[in-house]
Amino acid sequence: MEKIILGIHGLGNKPPKDLLEKWWRLAIGEGLKKIRRSGHEFKFELIYWADLLHPAPLDPEEIDEESELYIKERYIPSVQSGQKIKNGFKEDFINFFNKQRDKILFNESIHSNFPSFTDFIIKHFFKDLNIYFTQQCVHENKSEYLAKDIIRKRITDTLKKYKQKEILLIAHSMGTIVSYDVLIHSENEINIDTLVTIGSPLGVPFIFNKLKDDISSDNEDNKNLRTPDCILTKWTNLADLEDKVAQSADLNKLFRMNSHNVAPIMELVQNDYESKGIENPHKSYGYLRTPELAHIIDEFLSRERNRFAIWLSRKFKLLKIWLKGP
């Protein structure tokens, strides 16, 4: 069966679809090159939904760093060890500040004891997530729709478009929330072979509890959520421990197995992305080029070839026996 890799980006405004799709493909190619599988040809499409919440994309030609359309973190090939430029005081301070900020934003005890703090954090720091979880509307084709419904539809329609193919779905950050939402609500309409979640906040308590509130649970287990039944082969969750968004990475404890014996499996990775000396262990490009993700992609793309090689080997053995005769 023909295969395709689909991607779902995370929250916030993004560069235009064709550029972001190109950068995702380049990052995936970097990872395959690391494991010496750069010869793989693969079909890839990015399911782009930033345009549903942001009227204009980030502008690759914008040079004013104060502009809302300036791209602060572009795709940059990874820096080889030994070539890394030493950070100055400014970069070291920003890196330190970002780590301390994330410790506060994702402090589980604060969120448990002060629910109003959770609402404040989501509203002011994760605006797209706030729109998605609340009953806010967006304009589409001169009509108003709930943001959640129109985002779900965009993703569901794309998955249905490729229902005759084997799908490897890579979802990043808030894209993992949206993809889980789509898969659990459309599990009787679509199938995917493999799900890979990268930099996922699905295990963050206040996110997990929001999902539980939105999804009716059955009597079997009211503590955990279900793994969508439309995931047929594998669900792998890749996380860098420096990525506070993905700090609750062991999703196996939170999502129970589906009827295909699939449940999330955690793999720890090193996200090496940085731009102008500023580290970002949550950035999609760093996750996309990890060897761990490259091995998952290689296994997915090679599966049918391996089966064909086994079939060909058996036929060759039978031919040798036949030629040898009694």
Q: Is the pLDDT of residue 286 over 80?
A: yes
Which residue, among 217, 223, 226, 212, has the nearest Cα to 257 in the 3D structure? 226
Q: Is the pLDDT of residue 215 over 90?
A: no
Residue 106 lies in a domain: no
- Domain count for the chain, please give it: 1
| CA distances for 217 relative to 133, 253, 255, angstroms | 18, 16, 12
Q: Tokens in use for 226?
A: 């279900």
| CA distances for 266 relative to 18, 88, 103, 160, 289, angstroms | 31, 35, 21, 28, 17
Residue 41 lies in a domain: yes
How far apart (Å, rounded) are the C-alpha atoms in residues 244 and 102? 6
DSSP state of 274: E
269/317: higher pLDDT:
269
- Count Cα atoms within 13 angstroms, Cβ side, for 289: 21
Domain that residue 42 falls in:
3-70+154-324
Residue 274 lies in a domain: yes
How far apart (Å, rounded) are the C-alpha atoms in residues 276 and 129? 28
The reported pLDDT for the residue numbered 52 is 92
pLDDT in tens, 71-129: 999 999 987 533 455 555 555 545 544 555 445 545 555 545 545 555 555 554 467 77
How far apart (Å, rounded) are the C-alpha atoms in residues 113 and 118? 10
SS3 22: helix
Residue 162 lies in a domain: yes
Residue 285 lies in a domain: yes
Give me the residue label for tokens 């995936």.
Answer: 28
How far apart (Å, rounded) are the C-alpha atoms in residues 20 and 29? 14
Residue 82 lies in a domain: no
pTM to 2 decimal places: 0.82
How far apart (Å, rounded) are the C-alpha atoms in residues 221 and 257? 11
CATH of the domain at 163: 3.40.50
- Count Cα atoms within 13 angstroms, Cβ side, for 230: 22
Q: How many helices (H) and strands (E) does the chain have?
A: 10, 12
pLDDT in tens, 201-213: 998 887 888 888 7
Residue 97 lies in a domain: no
SS3 233: strand
Backbone angles phi, psi at 172, to 5 degrees: -115, 135
How far apart (Å, rounded) are the C-alpha atoms in residues 70 and 63? 7
Residue 281 lies in a domain: yes
- Which of the residue ranges 13-22, 190-199, 210-219 would you say has the lowest mean pLDDT? 210-219
